[in-house]
Amino acid sequence: MIAEADVDDIGATGVLLEKEGFTGSDVCKLSWDDVRFNQMGREETTAQIVIIKEFSTGSPRDYTKPVCSFSARELFRRAEELKSRGIDLNGRRILESSSGKRMTSKELAAYCKGALLRCGVGPDALKPDPSSTNGAGSRLLQSHYHHRLRNNGVKDGSGISEFLLGRSLAGNVTCDHYCSMTSPEAQEHLLSLLDRDKTLEPPLPDEVVVSTERLATAKRS
């Protein structure tokens, strides 16, 4: 659904970013200025999202992280399509259509819920949770991201896990310092971890079956 969505289907873009672990409120605040395309020295398309957070423990901290290759390609496709329509992306929100309509976090939560229902997720999994500030669809997409991290070998509570989930690293002894995560080497490592998961990639084509019948016949003759 995401790969086939029109650039003006900003809800699909929101689903894409929530599948990368962002909260609905954060997604709605992101602008194209926050995206760094192709600055990781790879041949394939890459995208890093610039995130500066301020926790109660101190000064603002840099949580810039890469997104998986599928998400990078999709964000790049949308950016190029908007620019081809003569739209200036400077200062423009990512969840803003070519006509200038912006999506609110409430609208995004409803869109995510509808998209998951259309994909076959049961309604019981999308019931509201009074203890959470996130909508059911957003909560499930973030849980999916957390599940992907665990499957890729990222331990719960580790510095890498907390960084990718945008949580404070204060007092975390598994991480030397939060800013080390934004070094080129660390960003390369984070992208490699995220790209281990192939659930967002299209399936590979079926293997070609090579028949040897004609070859055997020719050899006998």
Supply the pLDDT for residue 177.
63
CA distance 146 to 132: 16
Query: Are residues 150 and 156 in contact, defined by beta-carbon separation less than 8 angstroms?
Result: yes
The CA distances from residue 61 to 51, 56, 71, 103, 191, in Å, are 8, 11, 24, 27, 20
CB-CB contact of 153 with 131 (8 Å): no
pLDDT, tens digit only, all 221 positions of the chain? 888 899 999 999 999 999 998 988 899 999 999 999 999 999 999 999 999 888 776 678 888 999 999 999 999 999 999 999 999 999 999 999 988 999 998 899 888 888 888 888 877 777 777 766 677 777 788 888 888 888 888 888 888 888 888 888 777 766 656 668 888 999 999 999 999 877 777 766 666 555 555 555 555 55
Q: What is the pLDDT of residue 128?
A: 72
Domain parsing of the chain, residue ranges: 10-144
Fold of the domain spanning 10-144: hpI Integrase; Chain A (1.10.443)
Count other Cβ atoms within 10 Å, centred on residue 57. 10
Three-state secondary structure call for residue 170:
coil
Cα–Cα distance for residue pair 183/143, rounded to 1 Å: 27
Residue 9 tokens read as 């289907």
